[in-house]
Amino acid sequence: MRIVMIGSGYVGLVSGACFADFGHHVTCVDKDANKIARLKAGGIPIYEPGLDELVARNVAAGNLSFTTELSEAVGAADVVFIAVGTPSRRGDGHADLSYVHGAAREIAAALDGFTVIVTKSTVPVGTGDEVERIIRECNPVAEFAVASNPEFLREGAAIEDFKRPDRVVIGIEDERARAPLEEVYRPLSLNRAPVLFTRRRTSELTKYAANAFLAMKITYINEIAELCERVGADVQEVARGIGLDNRIGSKFLNAGPGYGGSCFPKDTLALMKTSQDYETPLRLIEATIAVNDQRKRAMGRKVLNAIAGPVRGRTVAVLGLTFKPNTDDMRDAPSIAIIQALQDAGAKVRAYDPEGMAASEAVLNNVEYAGSAYEAAEGAAATVIVTEWDAFRALDLKRLAGIMADPLLVDLRNIYPPARAEEAGLRYVSVGRPGKLEEDAETSNERQAA
Question: Footprint of ligand UDX on this chain (CB under 6 A)?
Answer: 151-155, 211, 214, 218, 252-254, 256, 259-264, 323-324
Which of 110, 218 has the CB closer to ligand UDX? 218
Q: Is 260 annotated as a binding residue?
A: yes
Q: According to the annotation, is 217 in a ligand binding site?
A: no
Measure the CA–CA gap between 6 and 16, rounded to whole angstroms: 9
Minimum Å gap between C-beta 374 and ligand UDX is 24
Check the annotation: does 206 bind a ligand: no
At closest approach, how far in Å is the CB of 139 from ligand UDX? 31
Tell me if 270 is assigned to a ligand binding site. no
| Cα–Cα distance for residue pair 285/209, rounded to 1 Å | 10
Ligand-binding site membership of 86 (annotated): yes
> Could you confirm whether 263 is annotated as catalytic?
yes
Q: Given the complex with ligand UDX, which of 63 and 254 has the nearer CB atom?
A: 254
Is 326 labeled as ligand-binding?
no
Counting every residue, how long is the chain? 450
3 state DSSP class of 189: helix
Closest CA to 10 of 42, 37, 61, 47: 47
Q: Which amino acid is at 30?
A: D
Q: Which is nearer to ligand UDX, 200 or 324 (CB)?
A: 324
Q: Which residues of 238-268 are buried (b: 16+ CB within 10 A; e: fewer)?
A: bbeebeeeeeeeeebbbbbbbbbbbbbbbbb
* Residue 243: CB minimum distance to ligand UDX, A: 10
Q: How would you class 369 by CB atoms within 10 Å of its CB: exposed for 0-12, middle for 13-18, buried for 19 or more?
A: middle
* Min separation Cβ 38 and ligand UDX, Å: 22
Q: Tell the smallest beta-carbon distance from residue 235 to ligand UDX (Å).
A: 11
Give, in order, the Cα–Cα distances in Å from 241 to each of 15, 235, 245, 416: 36, 10, 8, 19
Residues 316/380, Cβ–Cβ less than 8 Å: yes
Strand partners, 79: 3, 116
**CA-closest candidate to residue 55, choices 46, 45, 44, 70:** 44
Residue ranges of the binding site for NAD(+): 30, 35, 86, 122, 155, 266, 331
**Residues annotated as catalytic (active site), given as ranges:** 263
Residue ranges of the binding site: 30, 35, 86, 122, 152-155, 207, 252-256, 260, 266, 324, 331
